[in-house]
Structure 1
Amino acid sequence: MKYTILVTGAAYGTQNSSSAFLFCKSLLKTKHILHSVFFYCDGVLNANSMTTPAIDEFNLIKAWQGLNKKYKVKLYVCNSAALRRGVIEDEKTLNVNVVKKGNLAFFFQLSGLMELANSIKICDRIIQF
């Protein structure tokens, strides 16, 4: 089966994201196809590179990045929800050679709800956390 995962909970403070991550790992171990993970609402905070857990805590952001590196799972972040929560990409201003440093973590990519709709269309299941 082909799956899309929708994550709406922040990386820390709720169980949503860590449950979603563990579910994704289980899918991949059982040879299912994980098409993509879409982060929406507070879930976009999973893509904030400025989030730094305590040294003895599980680093969920790095775990998501590892999922992309090892299994090539697409990590989509809702652009509108990210902007409302201060998660931005690097920006270059056209009139001045100034680069604003963004905090979107590596391997996450900003996208719109159309990407989520497309993923739902081509997958057998969508699971929301």
Structure 2
Amino acid sequence: MKFAIALFSPAHAPSSRRALRFAQAALAGGHEIVRLFFYQDGVHSAASNVVSAQDELDLPAEWRAFVAAENLDAIVCIAAALRRGVLNEEEAQRYQRPAANLGAPWELSGLGQLHEASQLADRLICFGGH
């Protein structure tokens, strides 16, 4: 089965953790992840400056390690990211901001990537949102 996974919830919401565990279980079960798409507050899961409490799971670091280790296509919605201050080096320079907080393995792109992923996958699974 080919899955596209969309994450809408903030970095430390229970649904973010469920999304990560689902993605890990899907790959472990022999399934394919066509694309991960981080949208709305889900973009915070890709930000490198999120600091977790010492007694909590560092979900952004877990996501980053998982995406890198599995060489997954992980897209962060550019419009949602800009609105929330999640910037790669290019966007930080473009908007004259002092620092970037989004790097590898993430890619900024548009909502069309979610549409394409839903067309390529057998199932689109969404976590979080309203």
Using the size of structure 1 for normalisation, the TM-score is: 0.89
The one-letter amino acid paired with 2:65 is: G
State the match for 2:126 in structure 1.
Answer: 128
Q: Matches of residues 1-129 of structure 1 in structure 2 within 5 Å?
A: 1-12=1-12, 14-91=13-90, 92=93, 100-129=98-127
2:10 partner amino acid: A
Secondary structure of 1:20 counterpart: helix
In structure 1, runs of 5+ residues without a counterpart are: none
Q: Distance in 1 between matches of 2:57 and 2:67?
A: 17
RMSD: 1.6
Whole-angstrom CA distance in 2 between matches of 1:100 and 1:117: 32
Q: Tell me if structure 1 keeps the 8 A contact 2:46–2:64.
A: no
Amino acid at match of 1:9: S
- Write 1 or 2 for the structure with the bigger share of helix: 2
TM-superposition CA deviations, 1:77-97 (whole Å, max 9, x none): 00000111111111446xxxx
Count of equivalent residues: 124
Report the AA paired with residue 103 of structure 1: N
How high is the sequence identity, in percent, across the aligned residues?
A: 35
- Describe the superposition over 1:21-47 as per-residue Cα deviations: whole angstroms up to 9, x where unpaired: 000011011000011110011111111
The structure 1 segments of at least 4 consecutive aligned residues displaced by more than 4 Å after TM superposition are none
